[in-house]
Amino acid sequence: MKTEKPDRQFVNQLSPLVLAFVGDSVFDLFIRSRLVMKKKESAHRMHVKAINYVKASAQSKIVSILHDKLNEDEKIIFRRGRNSKSATVPKNADVLDYRRATAFEAVLGYLYLLGMYGRLEEILNMAAEIIEQEGEELDGKKE
């Protein structure tokens, strides 16, 4: 499901919230596909697990670890996304987490729209591994 590759100037002129709009879907589809490939579970259980990856607090944690691995162009998009003024903030999300999640999604949308699929996949895999490692740590503490 790859789209026609727009030029860099067009993508750079898009609002960070538009980039995040695309990035949100990219991340959600990636996580859902990853969960389907990992285990045979009910759609409901996979949906519940997916929430642990895509919620604002999880994305904020991802960014706190991945930010230093972003290149300069990605950091510029990240800053634009973080500083953009959203009309609303979900009631169950901290404002800082929500801004960082928006910034992360803007980077994903940016990479997707530019057709930089290799770099996008690299960041998506690192992001998923961060949440999965945290889940394993939490499971270890429960025992």
Average pLDDT of 11-19?
A: 94
The stretch 6-18 carries a mean pLDDT of 90
Global pTM reads 0.87
pLDDT-based confidence at residue 136 (cuts at 50, 70, 90) = low
Asked whether residue 138 carries a pLDDT value surpassing 50, the answer given is no
Residue 93: what pLDDT?
76
Assess contact for 6 and 104: CB atoms under 8 A. no
Catalytic positions, written as ranges = 24
Higher pLDDT, 75 or 142: 75
Q: Is the pLDDT of residue 109 over 50?
A: yes
Give the list of residues 6+ apart from residue 20 with CB closer than 8 angstroms, or none: 81, 84, 102, 103, 105, 106, 109
Q: What 3-state DSSP class applies to 123?
A: helix
Please identify, in words, the CATH class of the domain defined by 8-133: mainly alpha
* Range with lowest mean pLDDT among 7-21, 54-68, 86-100, 128-142: 128-142
